[in-house]
Structure 1
Amino acid sequence: MPTNKDAEMRYRIIDRCLSNRLRKYTIYDLVNEVNRQLLDLQGKTVSKRTIQKDLEELTFRPYCAPIESYKGPSRMHYIHYADDSYSLYNNDLSVKEVQTLQSVIDMLGRFRGSTTHAWLEEVLSNLEYRFGVKSDTKLVIAFEENEQLQGLEHLSNLIDATLHHQAIELAYEPYGKTKRICPVHPYFMKQYNGRWFLLGLNSEKRRIETYALDRIKEVKSLAEEFIPNEGIDFGAYFEHIVGISVPYDSLEPIELILRFSEKRFPYVSSKPIHASQKLLSTPCTISISVIPTPELTQQIFSFGPDVEVLAPESFRSEIAEKIKATYNLYQTV
């Protein structure tokens, strides 16, 4: 493989062109395409002679690429791989996958230049270099982002620790409580409602705990052997959860039945509360299979008088008690 990074970039572009069975390339087409991508990726171009040398180099060892030239109907000479299945870099990405990758790079590219997302620069550069696709600088998608949110400076370190199985020590200060030191083996990171959370094993309490990044005051590496995740599927872990809180006392989902007002029901139908949401035969009524969490309760309260909990009776009573407590607050005014 080439020792020169610029040459390798050209080789990859040439390889993608010659592997494309849907288009024919003359030497001029090849030069134009290579320069188009180089200009976008590196801000510079090369000469026709450079591309001709590249093609010649690729036919020799260690590449031995089966490059050949043939004459087309209009007496133009085209260049391609003699073997239709050949690819120098064995890139098995389909056209659809390349398009998806481009979309991902475009989406992540909007975070470039932010000190809290500096770790993305290396990731994006590697993707662009490896696949020759570059983020579009024109913003066409707006993301909800709270620039005042605390704790984002820890995001890259926590991602690194999670990926590299590094035990860490967190200085953690929950709302209204004193700061505590937590030995954590990080397993999973999740964003919810504009906030980031780390899930990991607290090696002192021997249980999975959730840590909000905006409550983390300090992160340190811990000289402790990493305890691997023993088969916890976090996709299934949150299957019956609205939000991020996982209760320790009950992990059994309930069948929650909710009835909405006519004006609110279309909104809930188009934006389900949970993936398990089903429309029932009773007008404006849905069911969801969930584990009760504080976030679920908050979401139900966000609908105000437009929703009624019909079942189960235990959860209905719990909501009713909270409504009474709220009502009593206003009676003292």
Structure 2
Amino acid sequence: MSTNKHAIIRYQTLDKCFSNSGKRYYIEDLLEACNDAIYNFDESSNGIKKRQLYDDIKFMESEQGWSIPLEKVKDGRRAFYRYEEATFSINSQPLNNAEAEQLKSAILVLTRFKGLPQFEWVNELIPKLDKTFGLYNKNKEIISFDNNQFLKGTEFITPLFKAIQNKQTLIIEYKSFKSNVSQNIVFHSYHLKQYNNRWFLFGKNDEYKNLTNLALDRIETVEQNSKPFDETELVNFEEYFDDFIGVTKPINAVLTKIILNATVALAPYIITKPLHGSQRKIKLSEKNFIFSIDVIPNFELKKQLLSFGNEITVIEPLELKNEIVEILNKNIDNYN
């Protein structure tokens, strides 16, 4: 199947032309119709030439396309194009081979999202597609995601997702790691985020003024509440996480330039998978890789830096460097 730009627009336009029995479409007319349709969609486009048009027609006639019953009718020295059956349309045909392969690939990816909100339909769709087209082979897994199916709290994703959509206030029974007893929280849910294979709910806790997050694996129960929904702490979550790593944003936090020193062995991994979108190279040599990130220091940042062991060292700021040293000293004391 032709995958070049605007291919679908051209196929749909040609389909309309071929099925229009009230007008004769010569090759020049087909070219003009396709370019008009493309221009209406994308004014910056220069359109296509006859060679591309012939390739499109050839594809539509092929088994990989729709096997269209196209008739080329002689008209003097010229010829016009039309369907042999005026009622034919590519939109009323079964999937062609190329479309079936594309859909099969999409279904293989979608199966990894089963159980998440808005993807419940995948469980119903797969058997139907398998019965109709033989698209899905459950024994052929060719893609995997980093997902823990035994993670506690995932059963709350759907009701929380719906509460966010419907702006429904909730009473959440929550038991934090710092407490032996659970508490009931009146919570206004704004956003769900997954980080490090755990799910977190962001919103407003009636007991606090600031934005709060709750770990889903610490939630005991969720119930609806009639209290009016409070959006006073709602933020633009597309930008909210830009300045820090993870899910924790300390109160009165300040964006900080952090300079780090990575070993030569670690450098390729850090370069190809940056710690943060703000990562910038300062110096790369045969001995080390010095780089910076502009983030708000938080718990997750420290955990990530420590996870690299002796292959990453904090150069600046001094305060963060001292905190890492203190943690390492405590770690050594634990072994002593």
Same fold (TM over 0.5): yes
Alignment of 1:163-312 (within 5 A): 163-177=165-179, 178-228=181-231, 232-250=235-253, 252-281=254-283, 283=285, 284-312=289-317
- Corresponding position: 1:77 with 2:83: yes
Verify the 8 A CA contact 1:171 1:219 in the aligned structure 2.
Answer: yes
Structure 1 residue 304: Cα displacement: 0.6
Quote the Cα distance in structure 2 between the aligned partners of 1:266 and 1:190: 28
| Residues 163 and 80 of structure 1, relative CA distance in 2, 3 Å threshold | farther
Tell me how many residue pairs correspond in the alignment: 265
Instruction: Summarize deviations over 1:88-131 as a string: whole Å, max 9, x none.
Output: 9xxxxxxxxxx99986654223344xxx44752337869999xx
Give 1:158's aligned residue. 160
Of 226-235 and 162-171, more deviation after overlay is shown by 226-235
Structure 1 residue 149: Cα displacement: 0.8
Verify the 8 A CA contact 1:254 1:292 in the aligned structure 2.
Answer: yes
Verify the 8 A CA contact 1:150 1:214 in the aligned structure 2.
Answer: yes
Instruction: Summarize deviations over 1:59-113 as a string: whole Å, max 9, x none.
Output: xxxxxxxxxx9842599834679xxxxx99xxxxxxxxxx99986654223344x
Aligned partner of residue 246 in structure 1, secondary structure = coil
| Residues 199 and 287 of structure 1, relative CA distance in 2, 3 Å threshold | same
Quote the Cα distance in structure 2 between the aligned partners of 1:179 and 1:79: 70
| Residues 309 and 208 of structure 1, relative CA distance in 2, 3 Å threshold | same
Gaps of 5+ in 1: 1-14, 35-68, 82-86, 89-98
Verify the 8 A CA contact 2:260 2:313 in the aligned structure 1.
Answer: yes
Gaps of 5+ in 2: 1-11, 19-33, 35-55, 75-80, 93-100
Quote the Cα distance in structure 2 between the aligned partners of 1:311 and 1:199: 31
TM-score by length of 2: 0.66
| Residues 314 and 230 of structure 1, relative CA distance in 2, 3 Å threshold | closer
Give 2:148's aligned residue. 146
| Residues 289 and 23 of structure 1, relative CA distance in 2, 3 Å threshold | same
Identity, in percent, stands at 28
Give 2:98's aligned residue. none
| Residues 118 and 277 of structure 1, relative CA distance in 2, 3 Å threshold | closer
Alignment of 1:53-64 (within 5 A): none
Structure 1 residue 187: Cα displacement: 0.8
Aligned partner of residue 142 in structure 2, secondary structure = coil
**How large is the RMSD of aligned CA atoms in angstroms?**
4.2
| Residues 294 and 79 of structure 1, relative CA distance in 2, 3 Å threshold | farther
Aligned partner of residue 242 in structure 2, secondary structure = coil
Quote the Cα distance in structure 2 between the aligned partners of 1:164 and 1:16: 40
TM-score by length of 1: 0.66
| Residues 123 and 259 of structure 1, relative CA distance in 2, 3 Å threshold | same
